[in-house]
Homo-oligomer: A and B are copies of this chain.
Amino acid sequence: MAEHTVIMENTLRKLLAEKKYATLREILITMNPADIAAIFNDLEEERLPLLYRLLPKELAADTFVEMDQEAQELLIRGFSDSELKEVLDELFVDDAVDIIEEMPATVVRRILSQADPEMRKSINEILRYPESSAGSIMTTEYISLRPQMTVAEAITRIRRTGIDKETIYTCYVTQDRTLIGVVTVKDLLLCDDDDRQIGDMMIEKVISVNTHDDQEEVAQMFSKYNFMALPVVDTENRLVGIVTFDDAMDVMEEEATEDIEKMAAIIPSEKPYMSMSPFEIWKNRIPWLMLLMVSATFTGIIISHFESALSKLVILTAFIPMLMDTAGNSGSQASVTIIRGLSLNEIEFKDIWQIIWKEARVAVLCGVSLAIACFGKILLVDYVILGSFAEVTVASPFVIIGVICITLAITVLFAKIVGCSLPLLAKKLGFDPAVMASPFITTIVDALSLLVYFGVANLFLPL
C-alpha cells in the first residue's frame, strides 16, 4: 500500500513537471479520494493548488475532506470565493465542522461567509456542543419520515431528498420533531405492500444518544449494537442529528490512542506525531516525567535509610533493579489489563473483589514460579559463573539468595494487587483509570519492593 503510494507520487510529479495535465486528470479520476489526499498531503505548497484544480468538483470535495489540516488551510487561502463555495456545497455538515474546528479564526470567518445559510446554521449549531460530545460529531443531514407515510411515499421522499444525506439507509420517523421510530431502506425495499404505513412497520424501540453524551460512549454503542447510524436527541427526545458508523470508527481509534498515550505517561494530543513540533511533544511529555521524577524521592529516602545495612552487604544493591523491574512489570500487567477492560465496558467497579481474588491467585502463581526461576538463575549465573558471592563473608550466600527470592514473590503479590485495584478505584472516584498505568504503578511498586526487600533482609541477615 505505502510503496504503491510512493510510486504513484513519483509518476504524478513527473507528469506535473512535464505539464501533462490531461493525463494527470485521467489518472486522478481513477483513484480513491483517500489515496489522492495521501499524495496531496506530501506535495509542495506551489504544486498542490495546481493539481487540486484538475479534480472534478465532487472528487475535489471528497479529497479535500481527507487531506490534513495544513494542506486544507493552504488550499482555502488560495481559493477564490466561488471556489470555496463550490467545495463547501459538496461537503457534509459534520465534515465541514471538523475542518472548521482546526482552522484559525480568519479562515473560519471566510468559510462561514461562503457557506449557504442553511449550512451555516447547521455548522453553528454543531459548534455549540462541547468537544467530544455526541452533538459535536453528529451530522444534521439525515432522512426523516412521518408515520402516516406509505412505503411508496417514503421511497419517493428518499429518492427526492437522499442526494445530500450522509446515509439514506436508516430513516428516522418523527412526530412534532420527536423521534418515535426507525425504518431501514432494507425494510422498505423488502416490503411487499407499497401502501403499508411507516407507523405500522417501524421499529419503535429506538436506541438513541443524547447530544451531551460522551463520544466514547457513542462509539461503544456502535460496537455493541452494530448499528450503521445512531440518532442524537436533545433532552426532550427531539431528533437533532445522527452519528454514522464511520465517525464512530474514528472515535474508537482516537480513544484507543488516547488510552495508550495516557498509559505511557503522555498527555494525549489530537495532532498526529509527524506534524507535531519537538516543543509540542515536550509539552505533552514533560509534566508526567517531572511528577514521576519527584515522586521517586520516596525510593531515594528508603535507600538512604538503609544505607548502613547496604554498606555491610553491598551485593544486595545489585539485585535492586531486578526486584523493582519485575515488580513493576507484574503490576503494570495487571493495571493495563484492568484499564482496557474498563474502557471496553467488560469490567465494572462492582467486580473489584472478584478481580482482587483472581489477581491474588495469579500473583501467587507468578510469584512462586519467578522465585524458583530466580533462585536457579542466581545460583547458576551469579554464584557459579560470575562468582559474585565470593567476597561475601557475613552471611551464607544461600540465605542471601533466599532473601532475594522471598522478596520477589512478596513484591509480585503486592504489585498485582496494587495494579488491579488502583484503576478500579480511580474509575470509582471519577478519575481517568488510564493514568493509573505502568509509570504510576511503577513508582508505588518501587517503594514497596524496597521496603519488603530491606524488611526481609533485616529478618534473615546480620545487618
Contact at A205–B30, with CB atoms within 8 Å?
Answer: yes
With the chains together, A172 CA to B278 CA distance in Å? 47
Contact at B377–A278, with CB atoms within 8 Å?
Answer: no
Contact at B304–A318, with CB atoms within 8 Å?
Answer: yes
Instruction: Answer yes or no: A263 CB below 8 A from chain B CBs.
Output: yes
With the chains together, A285 CA to B335 CA distance in Å? 13
Query: Which residue of the partner chain B has the closest CB to A336?
Result: B264
Q: How far is the CB of A455 from chain B (nearest CB, A)?
A: 17
Q: How far is the CB of A221 from chain B (nearest CB, A)?
A: 8
| Contact A321-B300, Cβ < 8 Å, known A228-B228, A250-B223, A288-B329 | yes
The one of B249, B292, B335, B341 that contacts A222, using a Cβ cutoff of 8 Å:
B249
Contacts of A301 in B (CB 8 A): 318, 386
- Interface-centre pick from A34, A186, A279 (highest chain B CB count, 10 A): A186
Contact at A190–B163, with CB atoms within 8 Å?
Answer: yes
Contact at A362–B281, with CB atoms within 8 Å?
Answer: yes
Contact at A278–B329, with CB atoms within 8 Å?
Answer: no
Contact at A325–B273, with CB atoms within 8 Å?
Answer: no
Type the 1/0 row for A295-330, where 1 means its CB is closer than 8 Å to any CB of B.
011011101100100110011011111101110111
Q: Is the interface of A mostly helix, strand, loop or mixed?
A: helix
9-residue interface stretch from A17-25, A49-57, A435-443? A435-443
Contact at A318–B303, with CB atoms within 8 Å?
Answer: yes
Contacts of A336 in B (CB 8 A): 260-261, 263-264, 266
Instruction: Answer yes or no: A345 CB below 8 A from chain B CBs.
Output: yes
With the chains together, A321 CA to B169 CA distance in Å? 59
With the chains together, A439 CA to B336 CA distance in Å? 13
Type the 1/0 row for A406-436, where 1 means its CB is closer than 8 Å to any CB of B.
0010000000000000000000000000000
With the chains together, A329 CA to B266 CA distance in Å? 10
Instruction: Answer yes or no: A381 CB below 8 A from chain B CBs.
Output: yes
Contact at A325–B296, with CB atoms within 8 Å?
Answer: yes
| Contact A340-B257, Cβ < 8 Å, known A207-B32, A320-B320 | yes
With the chains together, A351 CA to B304 CA distance in Å? 45
9-residue interface stretch from A70-78, A99-107, A366-374? A366-374
Contacts of A266 in B (CB 8 A): 333, 336-337
Contact at A332–B438, with CB atoms within 8 Å?
Answer: yes
Query: Which residue of the partner chain B has the closest CB to A226?
Result: B246
Contact at A278–B322, with CB atoms within 8 Å?
Answer: no
With the chains together, A49 CA to B315 CA distance in Å? 63
Instruction: Answer yes or no: A382 CB below 8 A from chain B CBs.
Output: yes
Instruction: Answer yes or no: A394 CB below 8 A from chain B CBs.
Output: no
Q: How far is the CB of A291 from chain B (nearest CB, A)?
A: 10
6 A-B pairs with least C-beta separation: A296-B322, A264-B336, A278-B361, A226-B246, A256-B256, A299-B321
